[in-house]
Amino acid sequence: MVKSGDIFNILPKNTVYNSKAIILANGTNQKRTLPGEEKFLGRGVSYCGTCDAGLFKNKTTVVIAEQKEEGENDVKLLSELCEKVYYIPLYKEEINVPNNVEVLYEKPNAIIGENKVQQLQLENTVINCDGIFILREAIPTSQLVQSIEYEGNAIKVSRDMSTNIPGIFAAGDITGWPYQISKAVCEGQIAALSAMNYIKNLYSDAS
Protein backbone atom coordinates (compact mmCIF):
# COMPACT_ATOMS: atom_id res chain seq x y z
CA MET A 1 0.00 0.00 0.00
CA VAL A 2 1.45 3.34 -1.10
CA LYS A 3 0.07 6.83 -0.53
CA SER A 4 0.42 9.52 -3.18
CA GLY A 5 -1.06 12.84 -2.10
CA ASP A 6 -4.61 12.11 -0.94
CA ILE A 7 -4.78 8.81 -2.81
CA PHE A 8 -3.91 5.38 -1.47
CA ASN A 9 -2.64 2.90 -4.05
CA ILE A 10 -3.28 -0.71 -3.05
CA LEU A 11 -1.08 -3.09 -4.98
CA PRO A 12 -2.21 -6.73 -4.97
CA LYS A 13 -1.00 -9.09 -7.67
CA ASN A 14 -1.19 -7.57 -11.18
CA THR A 15 -3.76 -4.96 -10.08
CA VAL A 16 -3.83 -1.44 -8.67
CA TYR A 17 -6.74 -0.11 -6.63
CA ASN A 18 -7.03 3.58 -5.80
CA SER A 19 -8.92 4.98 -2.81
CA LYS A 20 -9.12 8.13 -0.75
CA ALA A 21 -9.73 6.18 2.48
CA ILE A 22 -8.87 2.72 3.77
CA ILE A 23 -10.49 0.60 6.49
CA LEU A 24 -8.26 -2.17 7.83
CA ALA A 25 -10.44 -5.04 9.06
CA ASN A 26 -8.33 -8.07 8.31
CA GLY A 27 -8.65 -9.65 11.75
CA THR A 28 -5.93 -11.56 13.55
CA ASN A 29 -4.25 -14.91 13.59
CA GLN A 30 -4.48 -17.04 16.70
CA LYS A 31 -1.59 -19.46 17.25
CA ARG A 32 -3.04 -22.90 17.90
CA THR A 33 -0.40 -24.90 19.68
CA LEU A 34 -2.22 -27.38 21.92
CA PRO A 35 -3.04 -30.77 20.43
CA GLY A 36 -6.84 -30.98 20.28
CA GLU A 37 -7.34 -27.21 20.39
CA GLU A 38 -8.49 -26.80 16.82
CA LYS A 39 -10.52 -30.01 16.88
CA PHE A 40 -12.58 -28.87 19.86
CA LEU A 41 -12.93 -25.19 18.97
CA GLY A 42 -16.62 -24.44 19.53
CA ARG A 43 -17.04 -27.78 21.33
CA GLY A 44 -15.56 -26.76 24.65
CA VAL A 45 -12.61 -24.65 23.51
CA SER A 46 -13.18 -20.90 23.47
CA TYR A 47 -11.03 -17.79 23.12
CA CYS A 48 -13.46 -15.45 24.89
CA GLY A 49 -14.80 -15.84 28.43
CA THR A 50 -17.15 -12.88 28.22
CA CYS A 51 -18.68 -14.39 25.06
CA ASP A 52 -19.12 -17.99 26.15
CA ALA A 53 -19.12 -18.08 29.96
CA GLY A 54 -22.89 -18.62 30.07
CA LEU A 55 -22.54 -21.90 28.18
CA PHE A 56 -20.67 -23.41 31.12
CA LYS A 57 -22.92 -22.53 34.04
CA ASN A 58 -22.53 -25.07 36.87
CA LYS A 59 -19.78 -26.86 34.93
CA THR A 60 -16.01 -27.23 35.28
CA THR A 61 -13.79 -24.91 33.26
CA VAL A 62 -10.11 -24.15 32.78
CA VAL A 63 -8.63 -20.77 31.88
CA ILE A 64 -5.18 -20.73 30.26
CA ALA A 65 -3.92 -17.15 30.08
CA GLU A 66 -0.82 -15.48 28.69
CA GLN A 67 -1.93 -12.03 29.86
CA LYS A 68 -2.79 -11.08 33.43
CA GLU A 69 -5.67 -8.64 32.90
CA GLU A 70 -7.62 -10.68 30.36
CA GLY A 71 -7.06 -13.93 32.23
CA GLU A 72 -8.08 -12.67 35.64
CA ASN A 73 -11.13 -10.85 34.27
CA ASP A 74 -12.41 -14.04 32.66
CA VAL A 75 -11.61 -16.12 35.74
CA LYS A 76 -13.61 -13.77 37.93
CA LEU A 77 -16.62 -14.02 35.63
CA LEU A 78 -16.42 -17.80 35.35
CA SER A 79 -15.99 -18.23 39.11
CA GLU A 80 -19.44 -16.69 39.57
CA LEU A 81 -21.08 -19.14 37.14
CA CYS A 82 -19.15 -22.39 37.17
CA GLU A 83 -19.08 -25.19 39.69
CA LYS A 84 -15.27 -25.36 39.45
CA VAL A 85 -12.64 -23.15 37.80
CA TYR A 86 -8.97 -23.97 37.28
CA TYR A 87 -6.56 -21.21 36.32
CA ILE A 88 -3.27 -21.77 34.51
CA PRO A 89 -1.34 -18.46 34.36
CA LEU A 90 1.43 -18.35 31.75
CA TYR A 91 2.78 -15.01 32.95
CA LYS A 92 5.10 -14.07 35.80
CA GLU A 93 3.15 -11.25 37.43
CA GLU A 94 1.37 -11.57 40.76
CA ILE A 95 -1.84 -13.56 40.55
CA ASN A 96 -5.08 -12.16 41.95
CA VAL A 97 -8.07 -14.46 41.56
CA PRO A 98 -11.13 -15.35 43.69
CA ASN A 99 -10.62 -17.83 46.53
CA ASN A 100 -12.77 -20.48 44.87
CA VAL A 101 -10.44 -20.67 41.85
CA GLU A 102 -7.72 -23.33 41.88
CA VAL A 103 -4.44 -22.10 40.40
CA LEU A 104 -2.29 -24.67 38.61
CA TYR A 105 1.32 -24.17 37.62
CA GLU A 106 1.73 -27.11 35.28
CA LYS A 107 2.13 -26.60 31.55
CA PRO A 108 -0.89 -27.70 29.47
CA ASN A 109 0.04 -30.38 26.94
CA ALA A 110 -3.14 -31.57 25.19
CA ILE A 111 -6.92 -31.33 25.10
CA ILE A 112 -8.67 -34.68 25.29
CA GLY A 113 -12.20 -35.75 24.37
CA GLU A 114 -14.40 -37.55 21.89
CA ASN A 115 -17.11 -35.26 20.52
CA LYS A 116 -16.37 -32.47 22.99
CA VAL A 117 -13.80 -31.40 25.58
CA GLN A 118 -13.55 -33.86 28.45
CA GLN A 119 -10.05 -33.49 29.89
CA LEU A 120 -6.93 -31.36 29.87
CA GLN A 121 -3.60 -33.15 29.96
CA LEU A 122 -1.00 -31.30 32.03
CA GLU A 123 2.66 -32.14 32.54
CA ASN A 124 2.01 -34.48 35.45
CA THR A 125 -1.75 -34.76 35.82
CA VAL A 126 -5.02 -34.92 33.91
CA ILE A 127 -8.01 -32.82 34.97
CA ASN A 128 -11.62 -33.39 33.98
CA CYS A 129 -13.35 -30.34 32.54
CA ASP A 130 -16.18 -29.23 30.29
CA GLY A 131 -14.67 -26.08 28.85
CA ILE A 132 -11.23 -24.59 28.23
CA PHE A 133 -10.69 -20.88 27.67
CA ILE A 134 -7.38 -20.12 25.95
CA LEU A 135 -6.43 -16.46 26.16
CA ARG A 136 -3.43 -15.68 24.02
CA GLU A 137 -2.22 -12.41 22.66
CA ALA A 138 -3.63 -12.13 19.17
CA ILE A 139 -1.27 -11.24 16.35
CA PRO A 140 -2.24 -9.01 13.41
CA THR A 141 -1.98 -10.84 10.10
CA SER A 142 0.65 -8.39 8.86
CA GLN A 143 1.76 -4.86 9.17
CA LEU A 144 0.12 -3.71 5.97
CA VAL A 145 1.07 -0.08 6.22
CA GLN A 146 4.47 1.34 7.05
CA SER A 147 4.52 3.83 9.94
CA ILE A 148 1.10 2.84 11.27
CA GLU A 149 1.08 3.00 15.07
CA TYR A 150 0.59 -0.11 17.17
CA GLU A 151 -0.21 -0.73 20.84
CA GLY A 152 1.40 -4.06 21.47
CA ASN A 153 0.16 -6.24 18.62
CA ALA A 154 -2.98 -4.19 17.95
CA ILE A 155 -3.39 -1.18 15.71
CA LYS A 156 -3.88 1.95 17.82
CA VAL A 157 -7.12 3.79 17.00
CA SER A 158 -9.05 6.79 18.26
CA ARG A 159 -12.75 6.69 19.16
CA ASP A 160 -13.66 7.33 15.51
CA MET A 161 -11.49 4.33 14.56
CA SER A 162 -8.92 6.55 12.86
CA THR A 163 -5.25 5.61 13.00
CA ASN A 164 -2.24 7.91 13.17
CA ILE A 165 -2.26 8.07 9.35
CA PRO A 166 -4.98 10.38 7.94
CA GLY A 167 -7.40 8.43 5.79
CA ILE A 168 -6.65 5.03 7.31
CA PHE A 169 -9.14 3.53 9.76
CA ALA A 170 -9.17 0.14 11.49
CA ALA A 171 -11.89 -2.04 13.00
CA GLY A 172 -12.42 -5.43 14.59
CA ASP A 173 -9.92 -7.85 16.07
CA ILE A 174 -7.00 -5.99 14.51
CA THR A 175 -7.61 -3.18 17.04
CA GLY A 176 -7.21 -5.54 19.99
CA TRP A 177 -9.14 -7.28 22.75
CA PRO A 178 -11.98 -8.15 23.30
CA TYR A 179 -12.32 -10.36 20.23
CA GLN A 180 -16.09 -10.35 19.84
CA ILE A 181 -18.37 -10.15 16.82
CA SER A 182 -20.47 -7.40 18.40
CA LYS A 183 -17.38 -5.24 18.95
CA ALA A 184 -16.18 -5.82 15.39
CA VAL A 185 -19.59 -4.90 13.93
CA CYS A 186 -19.84 -1.68 15.95
CA GLU A 187 -16.29 -0.65 15.11
CA GLY A 188 -16.91 -1.39 11.44
CA GLN A 189 -19.93 0.91 11.42
CA ILE A 190 -18.00 3.69 13.13
CA ALA A 191 -15.05 3.27 10.77
CA ALA A 192 -17.34 3.41 7.71
CA LEU A 193 -19.00 6.63 8.88
CA SER A 194 -15.64 8.15 9.76
CA ALA A 195 -14.18 7.23 6.37
CA MET A 196 -17.19 8.75 4.63
CA ASN A 197 -16.82 11.99 6.59
CA TYR A 198 -13.10 12.05 5.87
CA ILE A 199 -13.73 11.85 2.11
CA LYS A 200 -16.45 14.51 2.29
CA ASN A 201 -14.04 16.84 4.06
CA LEU A 202 -11.41 16.25 1.37
CA TYR A 203 -13.84 17.43 -1.30
CA SER A 204 -15.01 20.34 0.85
CA ASP A 205 -11.45 21.53 1.35
CA ALA A 206 -10.77 21.27 -2.38
CA SER A 207 -13.78 23.37 -3.39
Mean per-residue pLDDT for 26-48? 82
Do the Cβ atoms of 45 and 55 come closer than 8 Å?
no
Has residue 62 been placed in a domain? Answer: yes
Instruction: Report the C-alpha gap between 81 and 78 in whole angstroms.
Output: 5
Same domain, 65 and 100: yes
* First-to-last C-alpha distance (Å) of the chain: 27
By CB neighbour count within 10 A (0-12 exposed, 13-18 middle, 19+ buried), where does 202 fall? middle
Instruction: Report the C-alpha gap between 91 and 65 in whole angstroms.
Output: 8
Task: Examine the fold and report which residue of 135, 158, 179 is the final residue of a domain before the chain moves on.
Answer: 135
DSSP state at residue 151: E
Cα–chain-centroid distance for residue 15? 31
Same domain, 49 and 129: yes
Has residue 162 been placed in a domain? Answer: yes
Same domain, 129 and 50: yes
Has residue 184 been placed in a domain? Answer: yes
Same domain, 49 and 97: yes
Has residue 6 been placed in a domain? Answer: no
Same domain, 148 and 66: no
Residue 158: give the domain boundaries: 141-206
Same domain, 127 and 50: yes
Quick: pLDDT tens for 9-28. Answer: 776 656 778 899 999 987 76
Task: Examine the fold and report which residue of 103, 135, 167 is the final residue of a domain before the chain moves on.
Answer: 135
Has residue 169 been placed in a domain? Answer: yes
Same domain, 69 and 99: yes
Query: What is the model's pTM?
Result: 0.62
Same domain, 118 and 148: no
- Number of other CB atoms surrounding residue 38 within 10 Å: 12
Same domain, 105 and 171: no
Same domain, 115 and 153: no
Task: Examine the fold and report which residue of 89, 115, 135 is the final residue of a domain before the chain moves on.
Answer: 135
Same domain, 126 and 151: no
Has residue 85 been placed in a domain? Answer: yes
Domains: count for the chain: 2
Mean per-residue pLDDT for 191-205? 91
Q: What is the CATH number of the domain that holds 174?
A: 3.50.50.60
Instruction: Report the C-alpha gap between 31 and 85 in whole angstroms.
Output: 24
Task: Please check the confidence at residue 144 and state whether its pLDDT lies above 80.
Answer: no
Quick: pLDDT tens for 86-142. Answer: 999 999 899 999 999 999 999 999 999 999 999 999 999 999 999 999 988 655 444
Same domain, 184 and 115: no
